[in-house]
Structure 1
Amino acid sequence: MTMPNLALWRWRSAIAGLGMMATTASAELKMNLPEPVSPLTAEIFDLHMLTTTVATIIMVVVIVLVGVTIFRFRKSKGYEADQDFNDSRFGTWGWILVPVVVLGIDLSIAGPGTKTLNNVETFEEADLTLKVIGSQWKWTYEYLDQDIRFVSTLNNEDLSSEGYLREVDNPVVLPTHQRIRFLHTASDVLHNWWVPAVAPKKDSIPGYINETWTIIEKEGTYYGQCAELCGTRHAYMPIVVKAVSEQEFAQWVAEQKQQKAAQMAEASADKQWSMAELMARGESIYNQSCAACHQAAGTGLPGVFPALKGSTVATGPVAEHLNIVINGKPGTAMAAWGGQLNDLEIAALITYERNAWDNNTGDRVQPADVKAAR
């Protein structure tokens, strides 16, 4: 093989390799919105496809015209700029027809766009109301009619896993073929609960309630993400919605109520919990609810979130520790956990924080201590 042929062979091999990589990447890359499973998201998807199609046609036409113009009227062929273009018939009609065409395109999109926006803002009687509260960096869900409340956080940060940054510990369970009202708010900064296949996105604003709705027509698991930049771990606020039949949803509600009753009975019992029991339960609660800010090792994020390891809160008076966990700290990202955790959970959490990471205070907080501090 001669040197020129060898070089050509190497170039062909490189190009072929890049082509294979591009094919593999494109097979994995989802370039469009997910398949809609509700009438409202289907309208949004159709509007998205309409605007994308129109924009693509305009782009192709403009590129072709610019390319032809550059090629045919290039300086090397002796062409010079027309100094009287605006006074010519073509120039005059061009300035008239181009705005008319653009206005026609805008009106062709404005019609279905207005209809879709009106439907987004249509509020009718719902079969189920779900309050969604965004916090750094978790979602709290309240089923207002079923008296169910839970926190949902990321539970998959394994880079090699298929569900990397997408799976949560507590997915939202919703029934199909029922009108569902979403009430959106936030406890700290702006968030945005968005599951493209299920419901339109709308900002979650502290101290304000926004509303959206959906009717899910197909059972399945659907994924979403916080769509508003909310802080350093914005990418770690996934959403998982499990759409099930109405019978399965009723069964799930019954199970959640039984579980809540058992937890409340356990938390209100006069049992004296051992250090080992409190530490095990507290570690689980800390990793689920607190580690995103204060880190798994209790080191915090310098300049953003304080460390608990060796801190004056975790090693100081128990009463102050209880107060900040139950009531939060105004003006900071420290939320009030008194309404989200029961007495036993708060007792276990504080016991863990006061004895983990070499804090070793030896303090053992009981549910009765939490009850007295509320």
Structure 2
Amino acid sequence: MALIVQKYGGTSVADPDRIRAVAENVALTKRRGNDVVVVVSAMGKATDHLIALANSVSKNQSGREMDMLLTTGERQTAALLSMALADRGIDAVSYTGSQVGIITDTAHRKAKIIEVRGDRVRAAIAEGKVAVIAGFQGVSTDKEITTMGRGASDLTASALAQALGADACEIYTDVTGVFTADPRIVPQARKLAKVHFDEMLEMAGAGSKVLAMRSVEFARNHDVPLHVRSAFTWEQGTLVSNEEPSVEDPIISGVVTDMTEAKITVLGVPDQPGVSAALFEPLAEANVNVDMIVQNTSTEGTTDISFTMPMADLAEAKSIVQKVAEQIGATKVTHDDDIAKVSLVGAGMKSSPGVAAKMFRVLADEGVNIQMISTSTIRVSIIIPSADMERAAIALHTAFGLDSGADYSAPLPERK
């Protein structure tokens, strides 16, 4: 008998019909002789609606009260799924994150897991029950309800799988697995049978929305393989694990696109020690997650610094940077929210020189102007005008031999 942790995302449980379909799959898994623990997200856009509701009644929401509000979405799903399972003769019980002992630090809205106790889950499993757990939430060391950020239901599932010693952790979503590119942008993208954690981590960091970055990082660090599957087709998906790629695997595993970032440029920055710290420390204190940074060569004692951050943080970042620019004597601050990030990711880059050069040649032939470049051992990311993103992604996907040979035909979720 295997212990299987299954996580179902918001689109997988978006309405009563979807919840009943999920209940059928859970029941089938249970009837095959497995122990099952289920982690659920809020239904569809329930979290967005709760945030909008908060915005309609208050301009200044405390982290504590927002966490109290937002956790209700997942609790609703957990209770409804347990009811649907009961109708199918499956004994199920729903729990909040705090009830199963997911202990976090005290940072509201983006808490980090400190410990997963799981005693009540183990007791439910011992009684032959399916435990249905509200994802993305826990209880802090100060005994306050906390949430762990958007997409953290994946993290809840990974953490529970590790704590319980599960035999499998299945992440059910609205796509059939991890693809070489977003099929909505690159029609000839194909599904990958397996991906190394390091590659998946780079993909998540580059903007892929299939798995949340923190869940991948946790799963890698604790060696919890993740099986990414579709809750709509139930077909085999993509295994994400620490298994090393073989020599036959392609150099590049995927082309990742992201249109959720913005760029700020500070012109005429005095080229002297401490200036960069003065610029980026206030951003860090405000929890603005800076991504790519480029500093030009100093000319006549000044330089220009450009960096990217999530579009959602642009207004706050502009305000902070403008104040710092005045303090350090910079001449001007500009911003650009009409950009896109395109990344090549592949473990084969470690032993294959020339990937960046080929990437730049392909883009040059397409007439795409590169604004910024960032690299790691297995990733090359560039910032380009958003209007060029689709053309660039398709050209790179073809140039690195990733095309499937036919347009992807399965139904796809809407782009967010």
TM-score w.r.t. structure 2 length? 0.22
TM-score w.r.t. structure 1 length? 0.23
Compare the two structures and name the one with the higher helix fraction. 1
Compare the two structures and name the one with the higher strand fraction. 2
